[in-house]
Structure 1
Amino acid sequence: MADINAGSESPNLLSTHWAELSIHKHWLVAEGQRLLEHYAKARVPLGFATLGNDGNMVDDTAKTIITARMVHCYALATLMGIPGSAALADHGLDALLDGPLRDHTYDGWFSDASSAHDHSSRKKAYVHAFIALAGASASIAGRPRGTELMQAAIAVIDQHFWLEDEDSMLPSFAADWSDPEDYRGANCNMHTTEACLALADATGEIRWLERALSLAKRFGHDIPATYHGRLPEHFDGQWNLLPDYNADMPFDDLRPWGLTPGHFIEWAGLLLKVESACQVRGRSAPDWLLSDAITLFDNAISRGWAADGKSGMVYTISWEDEISVPNRPYWVQAEMANTALMLARRTGQSRFEHYYRLAWDYIASVLIDREAGGWRHEVDADGHLSTVVYPTREDLYHDFQATITPLIPTAASLAGGLRTHVLNAQW
């Protein structure tokens, strides 16, 4: 496999952003459409299910997180004018509102369609953040039931998950809303920040921007300032660091032990989106939003990109910045591309354009599966398919968003940005 780090590019070439080139935009649109067509086969009667690494469905069990992400993505595609997308978004909306994914007794949503009879099943903030995102994006896209789902998700989040005195989300409950989890974590709050920005765009209510800003301050500013520009993710209910959390589960897909450079980068991107949201609404954006975004990105690159001398961003590192899990997840590379692009635009620094190109070269060379479809969700350090962290290919959320982000100016949410782009007839 060719070393995509080899060689150097002319500063003059780097001064022109790939995202400004029509051929690059056409390539992104084509890749996005390929992903949309591939994942449409995951539709099942009760929502959307999981695809395997061979591109075929694993089983027909509808999953809530997959269904919510599919609604979000096909709502974005609807805004882009891609035929057939609205019907898929509407199918997911019906499934989330009317089917067994939703708890029609206690309210909220289960993890999958089989959990209604599983009393050990927990209701998770992570899942509900994506349901809110799905509702907001579908509402912005003008889907008939988008606002209905959005308001249902808001009611559950406000009543159960959002902690006003902490400005964060409580991670999980038992199915009947008893037994709140004695844990605070970065991951569910990261996607809640994304959802809040979309809700701000969908509703026009300033409280969602206020929540996004509060979350960005805690996780993008305060915590990294305490830990040398790095972002620990696991805390107890009193916000005491849990350095050994999941030490026996380093390959966990949501709460792995140690530090996750890809999340440094994802939070950096969110800081830039919060800054954009403030500016659009005519309010002053804190200076730390940009400076901390740069710090988080740089720390992720220095500790995670090619950390073992081979291309790609690793999954996790230890507290001593040594590699913990060397495998390269697809979402990490996608978020690297997104944030590098936004930083290149925001700062004008060519080094961010360099990282944008590195990320896409790696994705195109290693992750895009032109035979089975979709992207390989995980590869090892040598670029070979791995299934340690991600045994299947669940949905197109990270991949598809990466193909859209360069097409529009940086915005609080992709749905809001697409809406503005379409209304201004800028396609």
Structure 2
Amino acid sequence: MTVTAWTTSPEHRAWLRTERLRLLDFGRHAALPGGGAGWLDVEGRPDLDRGIETWITARTVHTYSLGALLGVPGARDVARGALAGLFGPQAPLRDREHGGWFARVARDGTVQDGDKQCYQHAFVVLAASTAVAAGLDGATELFDEATTTFLERFWDDAAGMCVDAYDRTFAELDPYRGVNGNMHAVEAMLAAGDLTGDVAWRDRALRVARRVVTEARAHDWRIPEHYDATWTADLDLNRQRPDDPFKPYGATVGHGFEWSRLLVHLEASTGAEDLLTAARALFARAAADGWAVDGREGFVYTTDWTGAPVVRDRMHWVPAEATAAAAVLHARTGDEDYARSYATWWDHVATAFVDTERGSWHHQLDATNTPTDTVWPGKPDLYHAVQATLLPVAPLSPGLAVAVRDGLVPTRTDA
């Protein structure tokens, strides 16, 4: 079997399916009594000391709604329980006074972080889109509320980008502007467009992507992530705290791959003809800067603006996005280099990240590929890993939820 055949062989697809089922089994206890989903520890138990977070909850709704669409027993119950944290009269994360969703509440419902963040709300839109496709009760109402809040509060039509964060009352807008929230907004907007057929969602996503491409091109295809209120890049933000989980200093290797993949999906969804070159350039830069640059297999987390490694730890979501990007670029171009990278990086995931003893993937390794937890304690959620097992067998468009719903994703081991 040639390397190219990895992305299409029945054996490899069977392996992806087996791994997907193993991952979904690990998180079967994620839903919490009273609604929402917990941050999972290394054994797959919710860490109750961390409270309930909107991004974890929304990603759980999305992931287990995909599981329900795929026919995985028990997945619908997990998705339903997590969704109850986002919508309904008792939903602990929903702000019934000011609208939107809190970033985090305690298990007793006490608000611990009342900020309203684009990153979190983008995942609520994604979760709602997938839940509607899966036919979950309350999903349509959640989708209507989430998309209305997103457009009214976070979409800046003049800039063609999303703003980042407000205070609890939506009265004070933070001057920080960020690309991370916009990246997940693109994913969410594509999902909303696939679900509704409303091309305005895709047009917004395309505007965001083109602005990010312009910035990346100007920085040798490393993506500036941090900006002020005028959308002026701050290349030194968090230089003294370079491993911040959401706002790290420098260029984030994994986001190069993630944007590369999203550009291919956008091209397939919109017919835009100017995205493939950028997708290939972002992939090439991320691979050159990130993969095994310090003498060991694995992707460093971040680099400076010359490409020198800054944080050498390996995060699980980076090879998840790298394999997915390689898969979609191979599907789009037929270039065997992408297939070779795909096989190499899945080998690395299988040997370094997959935890065959306790389940799921280690979320963080140090520079020697030894598990550590300085940034990501436990195994918080399954979103990146599960999607990595689905994207290689999915079409470039529509997105996962609609593709699975419409029978466009093989679900049999011999497909």
Q: TM-score, normalised by structure 1?
A: 0.92
Q: 1:103: which partner in 2?
A: 95
Question: Aligned partner of 2:54: which letter?
Answer: T
Q: 1:7: which partner in 2?
A: none
Distance 1:314 1:90 in 2: 36
Distance 2:146 2:26 in 1: 28
Q: 2:308: which partner in 1?
A: 322
Contact 1:71 1:138 in 2 (8 A): yes
Q: 1:202: which partner in 2?
A: 195
Contact 2:175 2:229 in 1 (8 A): yes
Question: Aligned partner of 2:216: which letter?
Answer: P
| 2:71 maps to which of 78, 81, 88 | 81
Structure 1 unaligned spans of 5+: 1-11, 279-283
SS of aligned partner of 1:41: coil
Q: 1:119 to 1:145 in 2, by over 3 A?
A: closer
Structure 2 unaligned spans of 5+: none
SS of aligned partner of 1:324: strand
* 1:186-335 map, 5 Å: 186-219=179-212, 221-278=213-270, 284-286=271-273, 288-335=274-321
Query: More deviation in 394-403 or 228-237?
Result: 228-237
Q: 1:17 to 1:159 in 2, by over 3 A?
A: same
Aligned residues: 408
Contact 1:42 1:50 in 2 (8 A): yes
| 2:8 maps to which of 15, 20, 24 | 20
Q: 1:124 to 1:13 in 2, by over 3 A?
A: same
Q: Is it true that 1:169 corresponds to 2:159 in the alignment?
A: no
Q: Is it true that 1:59 corresponds to 2:48 in the alignment?
A: yes
SS of aligned partner of 2:275: helix
Contact 1:47 1:95 in 2 (8 A): yes
* 1:359-370 map, 5 Å: 359-370=345-356
Q: CA deviation at 1:54?
A: 4.1
Q: Is it true that 1:131 corresponds to 2:124 in the alignment?
A: yes
Distance 2:205 2:277 in 1: 17
Q: 2:381: which partner in 1?
A: 395
Question: Aligned partner of 1:108: which letter?
Answer: G
Distance 2:404 2:6 in 1: 20
Q: CA deviation at 1:421?
A: 2.5
Question: Aligned partner of 2:126: which letter?
Answer: L
Distance 2:264 2:46 in 1: 36
Q: CA deviation at 1:224?
A: 1.3
| 1:69 maps to which of 46, 52, 59 | 59
Q: CA deviation at 1:179?
A: 1.6
Question: Aligned partner of 2:234: which letter?
Answer: L
Deviations 1:326-357 (A, max 9, x none): 00100000000000011111111111001111
Q: 1:424 to 1:63 in 2, by over 3 A?
A: closer
Distance 1:120 1:77 in 2: 30
Q: CA deviation at 1:119?
A: 7.9
Question: Aligned partner of 1:38: which letter?
Answer: F
Question: Aligned partner of 1:304: which letter?
Answer: G
Q: CA deviation at 1:246?
A: 1.1
Q: 1:349: which partner in 2?
A: 335
| 2:32 maps to which of 44, 54, 73 | 44
SS of aligned partner of 2:63: helix
Contact 2:222 2:305 in 1 (8 A): no
Q: TM-score, normalised by structure 2?
A: 0.94
Identity score, percent:
36
Q: CA deviation at 1:408?
A: 2.0
Distance 2:160 2:332 in 1: 28
| 1:156 maps to which of 134, 149, 159 | 149
SS of aligned partner of 2:39: coil
Q: 1:409 to 1:397 in 2, by over 3 A?
A: same
Distance 2:398 2:179 in 1: 19
Query: More deviation in 143-152 or 231-240?
Result: 143-152
Q: 1:416 to 1:173 in 2, by over 3 A?
A: same
Deviations 1:192-218 (A, max 9, x none): 000000000111111101011111111
Q: Is it true that 1:142 corresponds to 2:135 in the alignment?
A: yes
